Amino acid sequence: MSSEQTSFERKIEQEIAVEPKDWMPDGYRKTLVRQIGQHAHSEVVGMLPEANWLTRAPSLRRKAVLLAKIQDEAGHGLYLYSAAETLGGERHDLYEKMLTGEMKYSSIFNYPTLSWADVGVVGWLVDGAAIVNQVALCRTSYGPYARAMVRICKEESFHQRQGYEACRALADGSEDQKAMLQDSINRWWWPALMMFGPNDSESPNSAKSMAWKIKRVSNDDLRQKFVDNTVHQVLALGMTIPDPDLKWNEETGHYEFGEINWDEFNQVIHGHGICNHERLKDKRDAWEAGAWVREAAVAYSKKQMECAA
Ligand code: FAQ
């Protein structure tokens, strides 16, 4: 083993953050660019389902809160693209790979937001699931990714609470509002569980990512944590969970839950979900419409550099 490799292994073992200028194995770098890139794409594609309700928010306060939340997601995308750039992942290149479908983004954003309740449920369940995953990633072995996660988690916690508060208002409302909330939970519950990825035994990247401490907790353990955290929140709203197999296991201290529809998951991550086509079209249109902004920004920065020289 080379001295560089030994030094890398020692850092991983002793939980010393790996930094951009440190030597790292090619596979480690590639895995990080893939995961961080996918994570960044999820943040920016994830703006679309909620944006669908910006012009129809039920009050000025709800609209202002939603606008701020969506802007936060754009910011998360920027932190993450910057972290990927520290590994040599070129932002344009990553973004174009997302637009052509070569790189993935989270399955969850290929489902439609059909009612106002969906906006609350996305904040509560989707940001809630994202936090469970991201809190673990605050201890990921790559320094810039871990530091981005700390900032992101703070904002996601606010998002989760605002989503729950919006759901609480519906749960305390009329029979129609309660029914709208229940319908939304029914549609988002299973896709939220899919956010954690395939079962550990079916996850091709997990073993290596866990050994490198990129992932700190396995897909199944994170999913279990989310279920354990969330069931009582659903019940506290007076709602139910669309899973007849859900039950508390006294011995393990965890909820048992039914089998995820993996066929649906695979369809969605391979481009055949309800909104895959629409999401990518919206992103491609925005990319083309924004070309002049990128050109103007480059021209402006060149001018600034000329003036400074
Ligand atoms: N969707 O071997 P594994 C958010 C792919 S942020 C799509 O287990 P890995 C904030 C996976 O890429 C949500 N694809 O993979 C927000 C791989 O394909 P590849 C995003 C998925 O990487 C809220 C293949 O399946 N969060 O929501 C999914 O070890 C509201 C095999 O899977 C992150 O990205 C999926 N659900 O584990 C924004 C967190 N699951 O690349 C707006 C960071 C798996 O080999 C509004 N990422 N795949 O072609 C991770 O923790 C991991 O990448 C996992 C997957 C756990 C997602």
The percentage of residues in the chain with a pLDDT greater than 90, rounded to a whole number, is: 99
Q: If you take atom 22 of ligand 1, which residue's CA is the nearest one?
A: 35
Using the atom order of ligand 1, give the atom closest to the CA of residue 106. Answer: 1
Residues 81-138: tens digit of each pLDDT: 999 999 999 999 999 999 999 999 999 999 999 999 999 999 999 999 999 999 999 9
Question: What pLDDT does residue 245 have?
Answer: 98
Average per-residue pLDDT for the chain: 97
The predicted model gives 194-216 an average pLDDT of 98
- Binned at pLDDT 50, 70 and 90, residue 16 comes out as very high
51/54 Cα distance (integer angstroms): 5
Residues whose beta carbon lies within 6 Å of some atom of ligand 1:
34-35, 38-39, 42-43, 46, 73, 104, 106-107, 122, 126-127, 130, 133, 194-198, 203-206, 209, 215, 219, 269
Output the CA 40–ligand 1 centroid distance in Å.
10
Size of the chain in residues:
309
Is residue 205 within 8 Å of residue 272, measured between CB atoms? Answer: no
Reply yes or no on whether the pLDDT at 309 is more than 90: no
- Binned at pLDDT 50, 70 and 90, residue 227 comes out as very high
Question: What pLDDT does residue 231 have?
Answer: 98
Output the CA 283–ligand 1 centroid distance in Å.
19
Reply yes or no on whether the pLDDT at 61 is more than 90: yes
Residues 170-189: tens digit of each pLDDT: 999 999 999 999 999 999 99
The predicted model gives 52-69 an average pLDDT of 97
Question: What pLDDT does residue 79 have?
Answer: 96
Residues 24-54: tens digit of each pLDDT: 999 999 999 999 999 999 999 999 999 999 9
Reply yes or no on whether the pLDDT at 282 is more than 90: yes
Question: What pLDDT does residue 1 have?
Answer: 78
